[in-house]
Chains A and B, each alone.
Chain A
């Protein structure tokens, strides 16, 4: 069970702190979509993932939940534009060999290993460029999606709690479904880190036959 929610907002109403998108504040707003009684780790249990999609007609927000979203609980301005859809037909239609179009904004990272300088050891490193592409290819393959095309584009950093910055990369392209079950799980749970701050939502859609 999964739902996709689309919200449109004016660029001015997007929370921005010191020039960067405030992912923490956005997270808190979108958490209103989930019920209150989810106990420990409510984001994970409610399956909330989101992605900011700047477009020509304002800023779009795609959010995904694993429980029915409570659109009415959003602030009035957002609720007015909110539409939701059941993702099940799409997820059910995934079969091995099917071509899909995908998009994900991800926090591609790795831990510095023992070869790194002392201060950095065990810390997270944000991957960019080719390193980020390789990260995505590996993670996609593990998730049952074989990318046949990748267009990666840099995205501005997002601010998390306590003003930590998270580096993002957007991956677009076409892939072939290899393992529908793994892929359904990846869509439901998200991929990579910083899921609280607009990362990891994997969107799929039908790709036209070439």
Chain B
């Protein structure tokens, strides 16, 4: 039997009138693909929604911050430690100063106009790490207070770092579940980089959408549309709707290596990731649009050779006026079938899908064969996929 190497997850998902991910002008992001403009939701946007979902699922928050100084100081002034405000601020500064040469501090104004010290780089660490930094500072209370009290004159006019930088680097370099999944880029701290195990595609519509109003084409639509008088508010140019193709994969070996070969945690994370991929929707403009749909179809494959994106199924944009869902699923299934054949069937260790009835209604049974067996719920699909993807290695 071959080893599972990658887990591919594909989804067809419709988003109604919405603008979950905007460009610098407030218009939905777009991409030219197959010669027509499509609406796009960037991977970083959707990935963030998934990351928050996974954090919640595994009960471990990851913080992304420049304000470690403040975070540490706040903890130290709490009743558990009972530091005075001034001392706690000094301890916070010490943490950042001792972190290593690559990380420096700069003064910035916060949203209330107060002066705060922020780190030169955006740190990404488990929330619990901030507690540990505070604990470390507490252990070195004497040194911190002594350095604070020392008169800063002459060439010794700067605060000197007194905390052990090795320990701080260790804490800042700690990983949470989502850091192991999505990776971390922190060149300033040697050894803190983590290669992500997840590759996440930008979602795009399987059909053309036009974000800009096209006065030339409007001439054709005239007889159809120009009828009802009315009044009110417009901004239609800045919203869009469509049927999206979404794709991501998990490099199973990389993830397992990131996790020190811990199979149980690997399982939990892959499961949480798939759950997030299915359930999380980016939050942009959601209070105004409520475009919080679930995917109409999710297809998961575990492969032994390489990850395979099926985006080229939609290189030629879908056309027509009877919706795009049916056509999208039809195309995805036929492309999945030919890819399975082209890349040899033996490499697919698992295939399965779950879909809304409306989506697959009327599709010929054999045309969906490449998707594998159908599951009743996303949950049972995920569980079955994880079972195969994170199997015990044979001796």
| Residue pair A176, B231 in contact (C-beta under 8 Å) | yes
Minimum C-beta distance from B26 to chain A (A):
12
- Residues 175-210 of chain A, each 1 if its beta carbon lies under 8 Å from chain B, else 0: 010000000000000000000000000011111111
| Residue pair B215, A204 in contact (C-beta under 8 Å) | yes
Contact partner of B219 among A57, A90, A99, A101, CB < 8 A? Answer: A90
| Residue pair A205, B234 in contact (C-beta under 8 Å) | no
Residues of A contacting B215 with CB < 8 Å?
Answer: 4, 62, 101, 103, 203-205
Minimum C-beta distance from A128 to chain B (A):
21
Residues of B contacting A62 with CB < 8 Å?
Answer: 215-216
Given contacts A62-B216, A83-B216, contact A210 B233 (CB under 8 A): yes
Q: Of residues 198 to 224 in B, which have CB atoms within 8 Å of A's CB atoms?
A: 212-216, 218-224
Minimum C-beta distance from B83 to chain A (A):
54
Q: Is A89 close to B, CB under 8 A?
A: yes
| Residue pair A93, B234 in contact (C-beta under 8 Å) | no
Q: Of residues 166 to 225 in B, which have CB atoms within 8 Å of A's CB atoms?
A: 212-216, 218-225
Given contacts A56-B32, A205-B215, contact A98 B229 (CB under 8 A): yes
Q: How many A-B residue pairs have CB under 8 A?
A: 79
B215 nearest CB neighbor, chain A only = A203
| Residue pair A205, B232 in contact (C-beta under 8 Å) | no
- Residues 29-41 of chain B, each 1 if its beta carbon lies under 8 Å from chain A, else 0: 0101000010000
B32 nearest CB neighbor, chain A only = A57
Q: How far is the CA of A3 from the CA of B181 in the complex (A)?
A: 57
| Residue pair A4, B231 in contact (C-beta under 8 Å) | no
Does more than half of chain A's interface fall in helix, strand or loop, or is it mixed? strand
| Residue pair A210, B234 in contact (C-beta under 8 Å) | yes
| Residue pair A89, B212 in contact (C-beta under 8 Å) | no
| Residue pair A85, B226 in contact (C-beta under 8 Å) | no
Residues of B contacting A4 with CB < 8 Å?
Answer: 215-216, 219
Interface residue count for A (Cβ, 8 Å)?
Answer: 32
Minimum C-beta distance from B342 to chain A (A):
32
Residues of A contacting B212 with CB < 8 Å?
Answer: 55-56
Given contacts A89-B223, A208-B236, A209-B230, contact A103 B216 (CB under 8 A): no
A51 nearest CB neighbor, chain B only = B215
Q: Is B1 close to A, CB under 8 A?
A: no
| Residue pair B216, A148 in contact (C-beta under 8 Å) | no
Residues of A contacting B231 with CB < 8 Å?
Answer: 99, 148, 176, 210
Q: How far is the CA of A87 from the CA of B228 in the complex (A)?
A: 20
Minimum C-beta distance from A34 to chain B (A):
19
| Residue pair B225, A89 in contact (C-beta under 8 Å) | no
Residues of A contacting B222 with CB < 8 Å?
Answer: 89-90, 93, 205-206
24 A-B residue pairs with CB within 8 Å? A4-B215, A56-B32, A87-B219, A90-B218, A90-B219, A93-B222, A98-B229, A99-B228, A99-B229, A101-B215, A103-B213, A173-B234, A203-B215, A204-B215, A205-B213, A205-B215, A206-B221, A206-B222, A206-B225, A208-B225, A208-B236, A210-B232, A210-B233, A210-B234
